Amino acid sequence: MKEFCKKLSAVLKTVFGYGIMIALFAGGLTFFGYAAALIIGGETAAVICAFLYKKVIPAIIYLSVAMVLLGLVAMYLNGETALTPEKKHAHKHEGEM
């Protein structure tokens, strides 16, 4: 079972990596859409901005949230516990008492 979880975690991490890369790339492309709208101006700019705000950005947000959730599942299947608190003991130097 542990071996299966490791393999599934590797696959999920790959999907997570590509999904986040796509979400970041799409988010960066919205900059160019807004820049083009700024240059064009007028009613066309308003239509471009409304499309980006109402259609593209929510899709990017949903994709990124799903990918983060997938990444968390992959981490916990792999046995990583990055989001759990750990008690760290303070180490004293040799000269301290």
pLDDT digits (tens, 9 = 90+) for 25-58: 999 999 999 999 999 999 999 999 999 999 999 9
Q: Number of folded domains in the chain?
A: 1
Look at residue 82 and tell me if it is in a domain: no
Tokens of residue 75, six digits: 């981490």
pLDDT value for 88: 67
Look at residue 53 and tell me if it is in a domain: yes
- Cα–Cα dist 71/20, whole Å: 10
Confidence class of residue 61 from pLDDT cuts 50, 70 and 90?
A: very high
pLDDT of 91 strictly over 90? no
Q: Which residue has the higher pLDDT, 62 or 74?
A: 62
Cβ 13 vs Cβ 74: under 8 Å: yes
Task: Name the residue range of residue 16's domain.
Answer: 2-77
What is the mean predicted confidence (pLDDT) over 72-83? 79
